[in-house]
């Protein structure tokens, strides 16, 4: 990320415009959806690592953060989030692990639940990011632009599942505000954006099907077909659906033989890091005034860009005069 002066102004102006005009006030549902059947998941018994997790890490490893150390604190805090020495952890979400299998013991049953971004129909992370670093794609997935993410974690704050994870010591801070590089960048599943744009399936879906064939946990396809499949199976087999209504609807659906209210209660009881709330409120729509926030952010960015602009203008003026003096003599 080698930013020159012109590129900086483009970023500053772009961020101001994005703050004033949210990317999507009404996000379209998208083309695709994923059905995750937790009645079939056994966490790839006998394997060192679940194959869907392994495939996700392999496909995305070239995008994993490589922080510059020492990492300064994220002012005004005296701490920062650094997962770089815990890259091999696979039992939770991190900047190096965008999918994990959550184990839940309930009513004599052991459930294995693949957890990753839900890819909401109306994603609060997209609407809540003050810098426009997140976008909802036509395919229905949400994507973080790591080149302009400031790691403010607003996306995680407004996400009902707290999915995005932060790594300090990387990102645009290193060029613009190196002493505040503890802010970092946010990371999460983007549903293998490049793959689905090429007409391919997400890596996790392919890996699971290669192992379980017609009993695969993941089914990926056109949104209407996935929703119809989930509803038909729920009706015929007495299963429960999750994700069709939560947070206004998502592009990720789950099927379970146990009600999700009980799963939610168990996760709360065990103080799990990632829950599955059934009654999900879209915090962006309920609690955040986007226009008030946008005006404040745009104002701050405008002032910052103005100060930097004045600095560079003065610098250029001096250089020009110096150059003229050199030509005269």
Is 114 in a helix, a strand, or coil? Answer: strand
Tokens 């003050």: give the residue.
Answer: 130
**pLDDT value at position 188?**
98
**pLDDT value at position 4?**
53
**pLDDT value at position 153?**
94
pLDDT in tens, 17-69: 444 444 443 334 579 999 999 999 999 999 999 999 999 999 999 999 999 99
**pLDDT value at position 76?**
82
| DSSP for residue 94 | B
Q: How far is CA 324 from CA 254, 295, 320, 321, in A?
A: 70, 42, 6, 5
Q: What is the largest CA-CA distance in the chain?
A: 91
| DSSP for residue 185 | E
| Domains of the chain, residue spans | 25-297
Pairing of strands 32-37, 100-106: unpaired
**pLDDT value at position 327?**
35
Q: How far is CA 98 from CA 45, 134, 230, in A?
A: 20, 16, 24
User: Which DSSP helix (H) or strand (E) runs through 324?
Assistant: helix 290-328
Measure the CA angle with vertex 64, ends 61 and 70; round to 5°: 140
Contacts of 258 (CB under 8 A, 6+ apart): 106, 107, 109, 111, 240
pTM for this prediction: 0.80
Domain at 25-297, CATH from 1.10.260.40, 3.30.70.20, 2.60.40.1930, 2.60.120.620? 3.30.70.20
**Which positions of the chain have pLDDT values less than 70?**
1-29, 283-329
**pLDDT value at position 18?**
45
């Amino acid at each position: 990320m080698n930013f020159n002066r012109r590129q900086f102004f483009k970023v500053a102006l772009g961020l101001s415009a994005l703050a004033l005009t949210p990317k999507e006030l009404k996000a379209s549902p998208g083309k695709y959806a994923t059905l995750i059947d937790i009645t079939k998941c056994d966490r790839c018994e006998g394997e060192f690592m679940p194959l869907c997790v392994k495939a996700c890490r392999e496909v995305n490893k070239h995008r994993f953060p490589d922080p510059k150390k020492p990492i300064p604190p994220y002012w005004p805090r005296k701490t920062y989030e650094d997962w770089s020495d815990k890259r091999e952890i696979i039992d939770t979400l991190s900047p190096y692990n965008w999918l994990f299998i959550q184990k839940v013991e309930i009513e004599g049953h052991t459930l294995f639940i693949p957890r990753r971004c839900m890819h909401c129909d109306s994603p609060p992370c997209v609407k809540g990011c003050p810098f426009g670093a997140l976008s909802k794609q036509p395919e229905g997935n949400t994507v973080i632009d790591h080149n302009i993410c400031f790691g403010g974690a607003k996306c995680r704050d407004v996400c009902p599942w707290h999915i995005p994870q932060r790594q300090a010591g990387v990102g645009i801070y290193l060029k613009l505000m190196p002493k505040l590089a503890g802010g970092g960048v946010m990371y999460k599943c983007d549903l293998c954006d490049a793959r689905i744009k090429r007409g391919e399936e997400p890596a996790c879906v392919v890996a699971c099907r290669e192992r379980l064939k017609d009993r695969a946990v993941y089914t990926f396809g056109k949104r209407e077909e996935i929703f119809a499949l989930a509803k038909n199976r729920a009706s015929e087999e007495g299963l429960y659906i999750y994700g069709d209504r939560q947070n206004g609807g998502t592009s990720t659906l789950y099927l379970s033989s146990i009600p999700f209210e009980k799963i939610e209660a168990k996760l709360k009881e065990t103080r799990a890091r990632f829950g599955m709330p059934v009654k999900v409120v879209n915090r962006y729509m309920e609690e955040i005034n986007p226009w008030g926030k946008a005006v404040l952010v745009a104002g701050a960015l405008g002032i910052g860009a103005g100060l930097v602009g004045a600095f560079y203008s003065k610098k250029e003026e001096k250089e020009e005069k110096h150059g003229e003096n050199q030509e005269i003599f």
